Amino acid sequence: MNKFNQDNKITKLTIPRIVIAGIQSGCGKTTISRTIMAALMRRGLIVQPYKIGPDFIDPSHHTVICKRVSRNLDLVMTGENGVFNSFLKGSEGADIAVIEGVMGMYDGLDGTTWGSSAHIARILKAPVILVIPVEGMSTSVHAIITGFRQYEPDINLAGVILNRVNSPKHRDLVRAKAELPQLGHIPFNSSLFTESRHLGLFMGDEAELKDNISLIEDNCDIPELIKIAKTAPPLSIISESPQLSRKSVKIGIPKDVAFCFYYQHNLDLLSETGAILNYFSPIQDPLPDVDALYLGGGYPELYADLLEKGIARDQIRSASENGMPIWGECGGLLYLSEGISKDSKHRWVGILPGQAEMCNRFQALGYCKGITVGGTSFTKESYVISGHEFHYSRLYPQSDAKYTIKLNMGRGIDGGLDGLYTYETVGSYTHSWFSKKFCSEFISAADLFSKR
């Protein structure tokens, strides 16, 4: 089990760890990462999962499998200190960390390697296992491996897992003259593919987790993977000691099939800053007795009728009109608007002046950065907003709409403007990575509301 020794905020962290990277998106690293986690759990290990990048969906699968909350490691949104502290916080009490990569191993921000799986592996000093689909090739796989090894020689590329191996003969062909350990030869199997929808895979608590553990264990050297993970050296991390505040306000957080996109970092930081988190479902529950609301993203469009009929809808509108601080992101923005279709006015909460529609392809994808520019009590001071947007919807705001966020990276609601607001209610397309400043201002606003 890993060891934590605190000395003047320098933390020595010793934990076996591996990064499961891929040569590209769609190579099988997600399913292989999940089944490796499950195989390690079967061996009685406490497995801490992580996901590189801003994704919400893969971590939900990790969490279900490992029974521990999966955390995002995202350099673009959080910087290196944020990555180190997410890794530090998540790893406490775990026996091994499995880090699922993003896209191709070297794919980072704007054509660079910044924020890539390789970048995270380098700063966490984690050995990398590269997943390569070998369908339709044999000896060429060695050229791919050589290229990945030489591109950034300081990356510890410790082994490969070859996916979509067609036959025992094919396995023997790709084994010949191998210079890097081949830790797995996974046969092509359609059950390894996970059904998806418009924002990606189904969430972990929705999907039927097929039992592919035996397939991985029969064709992958799990003991050798563990040995490689144990070669990761200790990390010296300048840790951020949480400034725990007296719990003074209650924040309601919808968490159900419609609203399920939350960074654990945000929930932790709200709690550490002084909030009691009260989870509920707007589909079936009334609005709880709270002082503020934080509505994350998700799939509200799939449950439009249930949300329209839910008792919480009108209660949230009344709370907003009474000045309750409310922060909504993406799906939360849509729910706070007039509705999901142009011909159904006030179908949802109806407090933000705009109507939404779903489109056949994504309308925005990428990182967002900007500043708050006033408008509400918790955005009146200028501070940085950092996050990510990915949505298939468009919001058509009214001509007199007001915004509290100006983006210098990202699209937002309208040409770089985000954070549509009315009263103390804000809705944005940006899935924000909360800062201490934001949490402090939001909780202060909630505290003032509670004393009215």
Q: State the pLDDT confidence band at 345, using cuts at 50, 70 and 90.
A: low
Q: Is the pLDDT of residue 415 over 60?
A: yes
| Cα gap 24→105, rounded to integer Å | 7
Contact 347, 355 (CB under 8 A): no
Q: How many helices (H) and strands (E) does the chain have?
A: 13, 26
**Assigned superfamily of 3-238:** P-loop containing nucleotide triphosphate hydrolases (3.40.50.300)
Q: What are phi and psi of 83, to 5 degrees?
A: -65, -50
* Mean pLDDT value across residues 37-49: 96
Q: What is the predicted pLDDT for the residue at 258?
A: 96
* Mean pLDDT value across residues 34-44: 95
Q: What is the predicted pLDDT for the residue at 46?
A: 98
User: Could you report the per-residue pLDDT of 431-442, keeping only the tens digit for each?
Assistant: 999 999 999 999
| Cα gap 257→251, rounded to integer Å | 19
Q: What residue type is 225 in one-letter code?
A: L
* Mean pLDDT value across residues 63-68: 96
User: Could you report the per-residue pLDDT of 285-315, keeping only the tens digit for each?
Assistant: 999 999 999 999 999 999 999 999 999 999 9
Q: What is the predicted pLDDT for the residue at 201?
A: 46
* Mean pLDDT value across residues 397-412: 96
Element holding 421 (H helix, E strand): strand 417-422
Q: What is the predicted pLDDT for the residue at 239?
A: 74
Domain limits of the chain? 3-238, 249-450
3-class DSSP state of 379: coil
User: Could you report the per-residue pLDDT of 177-206, keeping only the tens digit for each?
Assistant: 899 999 999 998 755 555 444 444 455 454
Contact 128, 155 (CB under 8 A): yes
**Biggest CA pair distance of the chain:** 75
The rounded mean pLDDT for the chain is 91
Residue holding tokens 């983006």? 407
Select which of 27, 330, 368, 439 is catalytic. 330
Q: State the pLDDT confidence band at 8, using cuts at 50, 70 and 90.
A: very low
Cβ-based neighbour number of residue 110 at 10 Å = 10
| Cα gap 305→348, rounded to integer Å | 9
Q: What residue type is 185 in one-letter code?
A: H
Q: What is the predicted pLDDT for the residue at 248?
A: 85
* Mean pLDDT value across residues 236-243: 75
**249-450 matches 3-238 in CATH topology:** yes
- Of residues 240 and 318, the one with the higher pLDDT is 318
* Mean pLDDT value across residues 418-425: 98
Q: Which of 10-14, 255-259, 300-304, 421-425 has the lowest mean pLDDT?
A: 10-14
Q: What is the predicted pLDDT for the residue at 213?
A: 80
Q: What is the predicted pLDDT for the residue at 189?
A: 75
Contacts of 192 (CB under 8 A, 6+ apart): 28, 31, 186, 212, 215
Q: Is the pLDDT of residue 208 over 60?
A: no
* Mean pLDDT value across residues 353-359: 91
For residue 292, CA distances in Å to 58, 210, 248, 255, 320 come to 29, 39, 12, 15, 9
Q: What is the predicted pLDDT for the residue at 98?
A: 98
Fold of 249-450: Rossmann fold (3.40.50)
| pTM, 2 dp | 0.91
388-415 burial, b if ≥16 CB within 10 A, otherwise e?
A: bbbbbbbbebeeebbbbbbbebbbbbbe
Q: State the pLDDT confidence band at 7, using cuts at 50, 70 and 90.
A: very low
**Is 330 among the catalytic positions?**
yes
Q: What is the bridge-based pairing of β-strands 393-397 and 354-358?
A: antiparallel
Q: Is the pLDDT of residue 361 over 80?
A: yes
Q: State the pLDDT confidence band at 334, using cuts at 50, 70 and 90.
A: very high
**DSSP state for residue 115 in the 8-state scheme:** T
Q: What is the predicted pLDDT for the residue at 196?
A: 47
Q: What is the predicted pLDDT for the residue at 262?
A: 97
For residue 416, CA distances in Å to 144, 386, 397, 408, 437 come to 40, 13, 14, 7, 22
Q: What are phi and psi of 320, to 5 degrees?
A: -65, -45
Vertex 201: Cα angle to 395 and 255 (nearest 5): 65
Q: Is the pLDDT of residue 367 over 90?
A: yes
Contact 164, 27 (CB under 8 A): no
Q: State the pLDDT confidence band at 444, using cuts at 50, 70 and 90.
A: very high
Q: Is the pLDDT of residue 340 over 90?
A: no
The Cβ-side half-sphere exposure at 388, using a 13 Å CA radius, reads: 20
Q: Is the pLDDT of residue 207 over 60?
A: no
